Chains A and B, each alone.
Chain A
């Protein structure tokens, strides 16, 4: 069944789903999340193993790493986002894929990141998975609260408008560049701090953590869950991470499953599982 270890992975999946969702909520198909996830994880791996070979690390140190990762990914996202977000549709998606690959190869080739094997023996802030469950679960809860609170804010409303029609949004005076950039940076920061947690949880970290595969799986979370509300990618992330583990025999077919979700989802379930109608019934959607 679902043990704490799986639960942690599910929550991390949900967090990554949220990261992919953010630019989409502003109409941008950005697949850059794995790049920032990789940056965060690598930073944590490097900082915590540098010079010392202890197996434990204080929670405060981890929080410090998260802060640094947030700063680093935010800076990177600002740098990259400004030119990239001028691109539309296909071009943006391709540019973000290129970014992911560049980051992956960079991490693979930099002398201090351990090459293909990566970095081992990353110290743990918690002795048991349950600690991670609480920690990452807490982060997820905070994110959820933030998203819910900001639904009525000008920022989120502008994002929804840009998603529907960017040109009309601009003609109505909305600072579309600023809004898109905010979503992109927020997405990057979320991916980065998730990477920090993941690096500690997994105990090892290498370049493959930030590969194209991750882009596929996280995209599947959003497709399945639905991209009209933040609940969608959370549900998608939880479900799709749990499913292959629960259906043990299917384990090998995990990626085939994700592929099928991405292939058939838009055709049969264009709105994903969490549809606006469903939300309306749940009383959360304010039409």
Chain B
């Protein structure tokens, strides 16, 4: 899929700042994300990357500045509203529904699919049953894409770490987003697994017509995956551009104190 040069970027941040008391988590961050691209967000620990995701998903409001989604400003919307507008995310510290099964984690996120109403459920009408099997089918499809279909009936808390990360992705995908925010999806993975993840993400983007924004603080993964990168340091945007440019940018190198590999 090619990156279409549309006039309006899918996502635009204008002078976004977020303070917590005296702490400036983000200071006047501005950049754009084009539809269909894989956009990387990097920076040392504490640079404000997750805070940015929290703003984009509606978990926390901006102190100043605006976020534009498909050209429209998003102000003070709830997280569920953000999701219904087309933004889904995963969490750095994993927030699965641990009491539910793998399948149920995905089912609960399939809110865009017709489910029938309560009355249908009570009567167990044919329409309800049809909806239920359609839901299950869709959920299993998503799990299959992420290699989790064999564990569909396991409780989410019983999964291996890597599988849990993938379940979070499956769950986020179930909400049928246009933009998927991935917070450190490769955490805890060895190089081979990271390779596989890159391939998987590229496939998912293709198949689901997604735009991806990926946070990582190990830069090498993003270099091969992303079309463009933004670099944060102490809440400020210090560089944005294509991987080759970023790699050579002296400010970026300085921010990472020479560990830009």
Contacts and interface: CB of A to CB of B under 8 A. Distances in A.
B111 A149 contact: no
B100 A160 contact: yes
B59 interface: yes
A160 B83 contact: no
B245 interface: no
A164 B91 CA distance: 15
B84 interface: yes
Interface stretch (B26-34, B35-43, B101-109, B223-231): B101-109
Nearest to A170: B79
A165 B168 CA distance: 13
Given A173-B80, A174-B80, A168 B97 contact: yes
Interface string B43-70: 0000000000000011100000000000
A173 B176 CA distance: 10
Contacts of B78: 170
A157 B79 contact: no
A158 interface: yes
A170 B57 CA distance: 10
Contact of A287 (B82, B98, B153): B153
Contact of B83 (A152, A157, A158, A171): A171
B89 interface: yes
B191 interface: no
Contacts of B57: 171
Contacts of B118: 150, 153, 155
A19 interface: no
A172 B98 contact: no
A20 B63 CA distance: 39
B165 to A, nearest CB: 14
Contacts of B172: 172
B174 to A, nearest CB: 8
Nearest to B113: A154
A154 to B, nearest CB: 5
Interface in A144-179: 146, 149-150, 152-155, 157-158, 160-161, 163-165, 167-176
Interface of A is mostly: helix
Interface residues of B, number: 39
B122 A173 contact: no
B232 interface: no
Interface in B93-133: 95-101, 104-105, 107-109, 111-112, 115, 118, 121-122, 124, 132
A64 B112 CA distance: 39
A165 B97 contact: yes
A165 B108 contact: no
Contacts of A173: 80, 83-84, 88, 109, 111-112, 175
Nearest to B87: A171
Contacts of A175: 80
B155 interface: yes
A158 B108 contact: yes
Contacts of B122: 146, 149-150
Nearest to A153: B121
Nearest to A171: B79
| The 6 residue pairs across chains A and B that have the minimum distance between CB atoms | A173-B83, A168-B95, A170-B79, A153-B121, A164-B97, A172-B109
30 contacts: A146-B122, A149-B124, A150-B118, A150-B122, A153-B118, A154-B108, A155-B118, A157-B107, A157-B108, A160-B100, A164-B97, A164-B100, A165-B95, A165-B96, A167-B79, A168-B91, A168-B97, A169-B97, A170-B58, A171-B58, A171-B79, A171-B80, A171-B88, A171-B89, A172-B88, A172-B108, A174-B108, A176-B80, A228-B99, A287-B153
Interface of B: 57-59, 78-80, 82-84, 88-89, 91, 95-101, 104-105, 107-109, 111-112, 115, 118, 121-122, 124, 132, 153-155, 171-172, 174-175
